Structure 1
């Protein structure tokens, strides 16, 4: 009897340990059937409409959710699926959701391909309770339907439910956001160093990059520092900024950088610790991503009450330069902000927004 009880206790201990290990696993991957390539069984589809809320493998669906193959559609429409072959389309008030194990208190970023299907002001609502955010999909940043977004959240428990929802009521029932891939990545909080007051200065800590995402990852507007998919940085603008990687773009240094793709409507900021009335030097790299973005560019940088303009003439060849200026701190916290003065599109694709690239942001005190 004692042996049996001991065995039971050991089994329970192993199960608990396994559950904890699962929750503690570092995540940097697609969600279960995150690319939607596992299709519903034949009985789970009526033409393109998914039948039953458990019919799509790995996901729970609610409302009118369609299982789409990329390309021409009945009625003359065309759905671009940039990440694979299949996608889902969310009808009015429809949603898809998935429950995943996470670490309480940790920061995560969801990366997903999303685009509107009609020339209407479509919105995609992303939620991980108690956090929620609406992503406006009206602006197309690339002309091939390959827009990829990242959205950050901080886990409140060991298990979270990720939901993508279409909150709108479109006049045309054939309209609604298209989602073609979903991934997740755990993010680590960056810290300033003795040599640099800026956190995540080279943008190396950022969201998951889908394998075939050659157009970069858009960081949605109005992302606060606490849950930003770009740790340490605030996306405080009306439009998105783009997180780009060295595999698909030219970046000044390291593995990643940020492209300011929407002019003055595309800005990033960070609040750093400073000493009032002390003088600091701010240095950063500015250039182009070697993606066909060309012309006279200008990055404006703000720190305390000081402003600095960094002009750069892009030939679209991936060149960059390092610029610096001084500022005087007014308070114990100083906001540094960067945005592009002008709007740009690629020379080979006027439907794709682009802009100057910034990288290697550095702030150090200057001794009197």
Structure 2
């Protein structure tokens, strides 16, 4: 009986970690709607390190209510009524369980306020990433970003940190939602040498978000929020879904937003001297992105430019590139030839949609 009671106690202690390890959605109080007690606030400033339920804080952290004013600036929150702002050298931290060695992605919604060069550090120590939020991709000023990591242990800390110091300590990015998703390992499927060619596996996508999820530039291909693919450039690409956009195939695709500054790359195993065909679909997202678009595709030393005339109402076409592999590893690269903006506001960045990318070996290396 004593052993049974001890087991029950142990399971009760470990239950939160098992639940967190398989989380697919908002972190506990990830939308910050559970507010600090009034006694733990000084104006909008959060006092104490554990005043926000489920979060630890440090530095100058504010609890923001949608509609409040800061001088001439009106602070708005896209979902719910509350968010947090990270002032000078401030951070929020959430501890949770995970599966060691498993890949996860964090999706968060953020907006910059006063400073022009604001950025966010997202980390699960010892790994970290930088979200360059100084470029605003949406018309309402709020963007959702994804960052991926491999769990270093069975208990992790998710840290979101504003490293900047401004003259006004209240200046800094606002965070509205934080979610997490476990990612499936990328694998090449039969009939396609590329992994996740349809972009169906990717970061958590807020169901009520109409602006997609930005995938920022990354240095490490193994830690990608869109498994198998890396963004090797200065700007982000947008991960989109069929509930809010037109997607050529399946439920997910990517939108190439930043011209030659938004480059999508995957490295494939090839046999030197063999002939390959790279096929893919190009279209528009039905998001008022009108006009002439061009997607450039590279496979090793071969390349093609695929023009697409967009009405901004959805549509797609298939393209292909034949090439002979020169080495055992071939980089498959995509980007848009130039920037585009939505015709509805002439400011929101947009671009061609890429989907259903396939690489097939069609002829073996001829015998000597």
TM-score scaled by length of structure 1: 0.95
Between stretches 325-334 and 6-15, larger displacement belongs to 6-15
1:56 lines up with 2:52 in the alignment: yes
Moved more, 114-123 or 191-200: 114-123
SS in 2 for 1:297: strand
Distance 2:254 2:359 in 1: 17
CA distance in 1, matches of 2:169, 2:10: 52
1:315 aligns with one of 299, 306, 311:
311
Alignment equivalent of 2:193, drawn from 190, 197, 201: 197
State how many pairs are aligned.
Answer: 364
Aligned partner of 1:156 in structure 2 is: 152
Could you report, residue by residue, the CA deviation over 1:3-35 in whole angstroms, capped at 9, with x for unpaired residues?
A: x55445544664587477446x42211001000
In structure 2, the residue corresponding to 1:351 is in which secondary structure? coil
Matched, 1:83 2:41: no
1:142 aligned residue (138, 141, 150): 138
2: CA distance, partners of 1:155 / 1:110: 12
CA RMSD of aligned residues (A): 1.6
**Aligned mates of 1:311, 1:233 — CA distance in 2:** 23
Q: Which residue of 2 aligns with 1:126?
A: 122
The one-character-per-residue Cα deviations of 1:84-121 (angstroms, maximum 9, x if unpaired) are: 22111101101000001111101000000012102510
Bigger drift between 83-92 and 255-264 goes to 83-92
How far is 1:133 from its partner? Answer: 1.4
1:223-258 per-residue CA deviation (whole Å, 9 max, x = no partner) reads 522111110101111000000000010000101000
Q: 2 CA distance for matches of 1:179 and 1:11? A: 38
Q: In the alignment, which residue of structure 2 is the partner of 1:294? A: 290
**Residues 189-338 of structure 1: pairs in structure 2 closer than 5 A:** 189-338=185-334
Question: Per the alignment, in what secondary structure is the counterpart of residue 347 of structure 1?
Answer: coil
Structure 1 range deviating more: 334-343 or 110-119: 110-119
Give the equivalent residue in structure 2 for 1:345: 341
| TM-score using structure 2 length | 0.95
* Mean CA deviation greater in 236-245 or 209-218: 209-218
* 1:285/1:321 contact within 8 Å kept: yes
Q: 1:146 deviation in Å?
A: 2.4
SS at match of 1:366: strand
Matches within 5 A, 1:165-180: 165-180=161-176
- The alpha-carbon deviation at position 172 of structure 1 amounts to 2.8
